[in-house]
Amino acid sequence: MALDRIDIAILEVLQKDGRISNSALAEKVGLSQSACSRRLDNLEKSGVVKGYHARLSNAALGHGVTVIVHISLSGQFERTLSEFEAAVQRCPNVVSCHLMSGEYDYILRIAARDLQDYERVHKEWLTGMPHVIKINSAFALREVVDRTGVGLKPQMA
Protein backbone atom coordinates (compact mmCIF):
# COMPACT_ATOMS: atom_id res chain seq x y z
CA MET A 1 0.00 0.00 0.00
CA ALA A 2 1.40 3.38 -1.01
CA LEU A 3 1.20 5.89 1.82
CA ASP A 4 0.73 9.60 1.23
CA ARG A 5 1.69 12.41 3.61
CA ILE A 6 -1.66 12.29 5.43
CA ASP A 7 -1.44 8.52 6.00
CA ILE A 8 2.06 9.03 7.35
CA ALA A 9 0.88 11.85 9.62
CA ILE A 10 -1.86 9.56 10.98
CA LEU A 11 0.65 6.77 11.62
CA GLU A 12 3.13 9.09 13.33
CA VAL A 13 0.44 10.34 15.72
CA LEU A 14 -0.81 6.80 16.43
CA GLN A 15 2.72 5.55 17.18
CA LYS A 16 2.95 8.20 19.90
CA ASP A 17 -0.62 7.85 21.20
CA GLY A 18 -2.63 4.79 20.17
CA ARG A 19 -5.49 5.87 22.45
CA ILE A 20 -6.10 9.21 20.76
CA SER A 21 -9.72 9.88 19.85
CA ASN A 22 -10.70 10.10 16.20
CA SER A 23 -11.67 13.75 16.64
CA ALA A 24 -8.27 14.66 18.13
CA LEU A 25 -6.47 12.62 15.45
CA ALA A 26 -8.46 14.32 12.70
CA GLU A 27 -7.58 17.73 14.12
CA LYS A 28 -3.86 16.90 14.34
CA VAL A 29 -3.67 15.73 10.71
CA GLY A 30 -6.01 18.37 9.26
CA LEU A 31 -8.93 16.18 8.17
CA SER A 32 -12.61 15.97 8.95
CA GLN A 33 -13.53 13.27 11.44
CA SER A 34 -15.24 11.15 8.78
CA ALA A 35 -12.29 11.40 6.35
CA CYS A 36 -9.86 10.55 9.13
CA SER A 37 -11.96 7.57 10.18
CA ARG A 38 -12.05 6.28 6.57
CA ARG A 39 -8.28 6.64 6.23
CA LEU A 40 -7.65 4.86 9.51
CA ASP A 41 -10.06 2.08 8.52
CA ASN A 42 -8.14 1.62 5.24
CA LEU A 43 -4.80 1.52 7.11
CA GLU A 44 -6.21 -1.16 9.44
CA LYS A 45 -7.77 -3.24 6.63
CA SER A 46 -4.57 -3.13 4.57
CA GLY A 47 -2.56 -4.42 7.53
CA VAL A 48 -0.41 -1.30 7.97
CA VAL A 49 -1.98 -0.86 11.42
CA LYS A 50 -1.83 -4.32 13.01
CA GLY A 51 -3.55 -3.44 16.26
CA TYR A 52 -3.51 -1.36 19.41
CA HIS A 53 -1.99 -2.36 22.72
CA ALA A 54 -0.53 -1.08 25.95
CA ARG A 55 3.29 -1.15 26.19
CA LEU A 56 4.14 -2.75 29.49
CA SER A 57 7.44 -2.49 31.30
CA ASN A 58 8.96 -5.93 31.83
CA ALA A 59 11.17 -4.51 34.59
CA ALA A 60 8.22 -2.91 36.41
CA LEU A 61 6.41 -6.25 36.24
CA GLY A 62 9.35 -8.03 37.85
CA HIS A 63 11.10 -9.30 34.70
CA GLY A 64 14.29 -7.26 34.91
CA VAL A 65 16.53 -9.58 32.89
CA THR A 66 16.50 -9.63 29.09
CA VAL A 67 18.19 -12.58 27.41
CA ILE A 68 18.99 -12.82 23.71
CA VAL A 69 18.98 -16.47 22.74
CA HIS A 70 20.38 -17.91 19.52
CA ILE A 71 18.89 -21.27 18.57
CA SER A 72 20.19 -23.82 16.06
CA LEU A 73 17.89 -26.57 14.83
CA SER A 74 18.69 -29.96 13.36
CA GLY A 75 17.54 -28.72 9.94
CA GLN A 76 15.36 -26.20 8.18
CA PHE A 77 12.72 -28.52 6.79
CA GLU A 78 9.17 -27.14 6.79
CA ARG A 79 8.07 -29.60 9.49
CA THR A 80 11.11 -28.83 11.67
CA LEU A 81 10.47 -25.09 11.51
CA SER A 82 6.72 -25.32 12.09
CA GLU A 83 7.12 -27.67 15.07
CA PHE A 84 9.71 -25.40 16.68
CA GLU A 85 7.61 -22.28 16.00
CA ALA A 86 4.52 -23.86 17.56
CA ALA A 87 6.55 -24.73 20.68
CA VAL A 88 8.19 -21.31 21.01
CA GLN A 89 4.80 -19.59 20.82
CA ARG A 90 3.69 -21.48 23.94
CA CYS A 91 6.58 -20.18 26.07
CA PRO A 92 5.26 -17.16 28.00
CA ASN A 93 8.74 -15.69 28.57
CA VAL A 94 9.49 -15.32 24.84
CA VAL A 95 8.93 -11.67 23.96
CA SER A 96 9.96 -12.01 20.30
CA CYS A 97 11.22 -14.71 17.97
CA HIS A 98 12.76 -14.27 14.51
CA LEU A 99 13.67 -16.85 11.87
CA MET A 100 17.15 -15.90 10.72
CA SER A 101 19.58 -16.42 7.91
CA GLY A 102 23.18 -17.02 8.84
CA GLU A 103 24.75 -19.02 11.63
CA TYR A 104 21.65 -19.49 13.83
CA ASP A 105 18.15 -20.47 12.81
CA TYR A 106 16.27 -18.31 15.34
CA ILE A 107 16.90 -15.41 17.67
CA LEU A 108 14.65 -15.07 20.70
CA ARG A 109 14.28 -12.23 23.17
CA ILE A 110 13.30 -13.58 26.57
CA ALA A 111 12.15 -11.72 29.68
CA ALA A 112 13.06 -13.32 33.02
CA ARG A 113 12.83 -12.23 36.65
CA ASP A 114 16.48 -13.04 37.36
CA LEU A 115 19.20 -15.55 36.44
CA GLN A 116 17.47 -18.37 38.31
CA ASP A 117 14.25 -17.67 36.44
CA TYR A 118 16.11 -17.79 33.13
CA GLU A 119 17.66 -21.09 34.19
CA ARG A 120 14.10 -22.39 34.73
CA VAL A 121 13.02 -21.15 31.29
CA HIS A 122 16.11 -22.76 29.76
CA LYS A 123 15.47 -26.12 31.45
CA GLU A 124 11.67 -26.24 31.22
CA TRP A 125 11.16 -24.68 27.81
CA LEU A 126 14.16 -24.15 25.57
CA THR A 127 15.92 -27.49 25.92
CA GLY A 128 12.64 -29.33 25.42
CA MET A 129 11.65 -27.60 22.19
CA PRO A 130 11.64 -29.87 19.17
CA HIS A 131 14.72 -30.10 16.93
CA VAL A 132 16.91 -27.79 19.08
CA ILE A 133 20.57 -28.81 18.87
CA LYS A 134 22.30 -25.65 20.14
CA ILE A 135 21.34 -22.80 22.50
CA ASN A 136 23.54 -19.72 22.94
CA SER A 137 22.41 -17.15 25.53
CA ALA A 138 23.57 -13.55 25.97
CA PHE A 139 22.37 -11.29 28.78
CA ALA A 140 21.48 -7.69 28.00
CA LEU A 141 23.20 -5.24 30.32
CA ARG A 142 21.03 -2.24 29.45
CA GLU A 143 18.33 -1.37 26.93
CA VAL A 144 19.44 1.46 24.67
CA VAL A 145 16.60 1.61 22.10
CA ASP A 146 13.10 0.11 22.27
CA ARG A 147 10.91 1.35 19.46
CA THR A 148 7.42 0.20 18.63
CA GLY A 149 7.58 1.52 15.09
CA VAL A 150 9.85 2.84 12.42
CA GLY A 151 10.52 6.31 11.10
CA LEU A 152 8.06 7.18 8.38
CA LYS A 153 8.55 9.18 5.23
CA PRO A 154 6.33 9.63 2.19
CA GLN A 155 6.48 6.81 -0.33
CA MET A 156 6.33 7.47 -4.01
CA ALA A 157 3.32 5.74 -5.57
Query: DSSP letter string over 47-80?
Result: TSS--------TTTTT--EEEEEEEEES---HHH
Instruction: For residues 89-112, give the mean pLDDT.
Output: 97
Q: For residue 145, tell me if it sits in a domain.
A: no
Q: Tell me, yes or no, whether 71 and 129 share the same domain.
A: yes
Q: Tell me, yes or no, whether 69 and 135 share the same domain.
A: yes
Q: What is the pLDDT of residue 1?
A: 75
Q: Supply the mean pLDDT for the chain.
A: 94
pLDDT at 44 over 90: yes
Q: What is the pLDDT of residue 14?
A: 93
Instruction: For residues 37-43, give the mean pLDDT.
Output: 97
Categorise residue 148: left if φ over 0, alpha if ψ from -120 to 50, beta otherwise. alpha
> Total domain count for the chain?
2
Integer CA distances (angstroms), 126 to 40, 90, 91, 140, in order: 40, 11, 9, 18
Q: Tell me, yes or no, whether 80 and 134 share the same domain.
A: yes
For 59-81, the pLDDT digits (tens) are 999 999 999 999 999 999 999 99
Q: Tell me, yes or no, whether 134 and 83 share the same domain.
A: yes
Q: Tell me, yes or no, whether 86 and 135 share the same domain.
A: yes
For 111-148, the pLDDT digits (tens) are 999 999 999 999 999 999 999 999 999 999 999 998 87
Q: Tell me, yes or no, whether 112 and 81 share the same domain.
A: yes
CATH number for the domain that contains residue 40: 1.10.10.10
Q: For residue 60, tell me if it sits in a domain.
A: no
Q: Tell me, yes or no, whether 80 and 115 share the same domain.
A: yes
Q: What is the pLDDT of residue 137?
A: 98
Q: What is the pLDDT of residue 2?
A: 87
For 47-62, the pLDDT digits (tens) are 999 999 888 899 999 9
Quote the domain boundaries for residue 96: 65-139
Q: Tell me, yes or no, whether 21 and 72 share the same domain.
A: no
Higher pLDDT, 54 or 43: 43
pTM of the predicted model as reported, rounded to 2 decimal places: 0.81
Q: What is the pLDDT of residue 157?
A: 47
